[in-house]
Amino acid sequence: MTATPSLPWQPSQRQRERDAYRRARTRRSLLIAVVSSAVIVAVVVLVVGRSSGWARTRDSFFDLRTGWHDLPALLRALWINLQIMLISEAFILVFAALIAIMRTLRGPVFFPVRFLATLYVDLFRGLPLLIVLLLVGFGIPSLRLQGAPSSPFVLCIIALTLTYTSYVAEVFRAGIESVHPSQAASARALGLSYAQSMRHVVFPQAVRRVLPPLLNDFVSLQKDTSLVSFLGVTEIVLTAENLQSQDFKFVHLVFAALIFVALTVPLTRLTDWIARRQGWINPGSVI
Amino acid sequence: MTTPVLNVRGLRKVYGSAVVLDDLDLTAAEHSCTALIGASGSGKSTLLRCIDLLEVVDDGVVELDGEDITDPRADGNRVRTRIGIVFQSFNLFPHLRVIDNVTLALRRVHKVPRGQAEEAGLAMLDRVGLRARAGARPDELSGGQQQRVAIARALVTKPRLMLFDEVTSALDPELVGEVLSLVRELRSDGMTMLLATHEMGFAREVADRVCFLDGGRVLEEGPPEQVLADPLEARTRQFLRRIIDAGRL
Q: Which of B10, B55, B73 sits opposite A12 (nearest CB)?
A: B10
Q: Residues A92-95: contacts with CB within 8 Å, 24+ apart? A: A92/A160, A92/A161, A92/A164, A92/A165, A92/A168, A92/A221, A93/A168, A95/A161, A95/A165, A95/A169
Q: Which of A1, A12, A21 sits opposite B59 (nearest CB)?
A: A12
Angle (deg, nearest 10), helices A251-277 and A236-247: 160
Q: Residues A138-142: contacts with CB within 8 Å, 24+ apart? A: none
Q: Nearest 10 degrees: CA dihedral of A149, A152, A156, A162?
A: 30
Q: Which of A1, A14, A25 sits opposite B215 (nearest CB)?
A: A1
The answer to whether A287 contacts B72, with C-beta atoms less than 8 Å apart, is: no
User: What single string gives the DSSP state of each residue in A127-162?
Assistant: S-HHHHHHHHHHHHHHTT-TT----HHHHHHHHHHH
Question: Can you tell me the distance from the alpha carbon of B10 to that of B61, in angstroms, rounded to the nearest whole number?
Answer: 7
Q: Is A4 on the interface with B (CB under 8 A)?
A: no
Q: Is B184 on the interface with A (CB under 8 A)?
A: no
The answer to whether B60 contacts A15, with C-beta atoms less than 8 Å apart, is: yes
Residues of chain B with pLDDT under 70: 1, 248-249
* A255–chain B nearest CA distance, Å: 45
Each residue's pLDDT expressed in tens, for chain A with a length of 287 residues: 444 556 788 899 999 999 999 999 999 999 999 999 999 999 999 998 888 888 888 888 888 888 888 899 899 999 999 999 999 999 999 999 999 999 988 888 899 999 999 999 999 999 999 999 999 999 888 888 888 888 889 999 999 999 999 999 999 999 999 999 899 999 999 989 888 999 999 999 999 889 888 988 998 999 899 888 888 888 899 999 899 888 888 999 999 999 999 988 888 888 788 777 766 655 444 44
Report residue B17 CA to chain centroid gap: 27
User: What single string gives the DSSP state of each residue in B47-114?
Assistant: HHHHHTTSS--SEEEEEETTEETTSTTS-HHHHHTTEEEE-TT----TTS-HHHHHHHHHHHTS---H
End-to-end CA distance of chain B: 35
Q: CB of B156 within 8 A of CB of B124? A: yes
* B12–chain A nearest CA distance, Å: 10
Q: CB of B247 within 8 A of CB of B200? A: no
* % helix, strand, coil for chain B, step of 5: 40, 25, 35
φ, ψ (nearest 5 deg) of residue B162: -115, 135
φ, ψ (nearest 5 deg) of residue B14: -125, 135
* A223–chain B nearest CA distance, Å: 36
CA distances from A162 to A41, A97, A130, A147, B90 (A): 43, 13, 12, 19, 45
Q: Identify all chain A residues contacting B71, using CB atoms and an 8 Å cutoff.
A: 18
Question: Can you tell me the distance from the alpha carbon of B2 to that of B15, in angstroms, rounded to the nearest whole number?
Answer: 35
CB contacts < 8 A, A to B, total: 30
Q: So what's the pLDDT on residue B154? A: 95
Q: Element (H or E) spanning B21, and its range? A: strand B18-28
Q: CB of A21 within 8 A of CB of B72? A: yes
- Residue type for position B97: R
CA distances from A155 to A99, A129, A134, A151 (A): 21, 13, 10, 6
Q: Is A13 on the interface with B (CB under 8 A)?
A: no
The answer to whether B219 contacts A1, with C-beta atoms less than 8 Å apart, is: yes
Q: Is B222 on the interface with A (CB under 8 A)?
A: no
Neighbours of A279 (CB within 10 A): 9
Neighbours of B152 (CB within 10 A): 26
Looking at the DSSP bridge assignments, the partners of residue B86 are: B164
Residues 6+ apart with CB under 8 A from B164: B85, B86, B183, B193, B194, B195, B196, B197
* B129–chain A nearest CA distance, Å: 31
Question: Can you tell me the distance from the alpha carbon of B76 to that of B73, in angstroms, rounded to the nearest whole number?
Answer: 9
Return residues 18-57 of B near A (CB < 8 Å). 19, 22, 54-56
Q: Identify all chain A residues contacting B139, using CB atoms and an 8 Å cutoff.
A: none
Is the pTM higher than 0.95? The answer reads no
Q: Identify all chain B residues contacting A18, using CB atoms and an 8 Å cutoff.
A: 70-72
Q: So what's the pLDDT on residue B133? A: 96
Question: Can you tell me the distance from the alpha carbon of A28 to that of A40, in angstroms, rounded to the nearest whole number?
Answer: 18
The answer to whether B60 contacts A12, with C-beta atoms less than 8 Å apart, is: yes
CA-closest candidate to residue A276, choices A208, A214, A217, A207? A208
The answer to whether A15 contacts B22, with C-beta atoms less than 8 Å apart, is: no
Q: Which of B54, B58, B73 sits opposite A287 (nearest CB)?
A: B54
Q: Nearest 10 degrees: CA dihedral of B74, B76, B10, B25?
A: -120
Q: So what's the pLDDT on residue A198? A: 92
CA-closest candidate to residue B53, choices B22, B30, B79? B79
Q: Identify all chain A residues contacting B219, using CB atoms and an 8 Å cutoff.
A: 1
The answer to whether A1 contacts B12, with C-beta atoms less than 8 Å apart, is: no
Question: Can you tell me the distance from the alpha carbon of B47 to that of B13, in angstroms, rounded to the nearest whole number?
Answer: 9
pLDDT tens by residue, B1-47: 688 999 999 999 999 889 999 999 999 999 999 999 999 889 999 99
Indicate the pairing of strand B192-196 with strand B33-37: parallel
The answer to whether A22 contacts B71, with C-beta atoms less than 8 Å apart, is: no
* A206–chain B nearest CA distance, Å: 21
CA distances from A173 to A3, A110, A167, A176, A202 (A): 59, 16, 10, 5, 11
Q: So what's the pLDDT on residue A284? A: 45
Q: So what's the pLDDT on residue A2? A: 44
Q: Which of B55, B59, B235 sits opposite A15 (nearest CB)?
A: B59
Q: So what's the pLDDT on residue B2? A: 82
Q: Element (H or E) spanning A256, and its range? A: helix A251-277
Q: So what's the pLDDT on residue B249? A: 61
Q: Is A22 on the interface with B (CB under 8 A)?
A: yes
Q: Is B232 on the interface with A (CB under 8 A)?
A: no
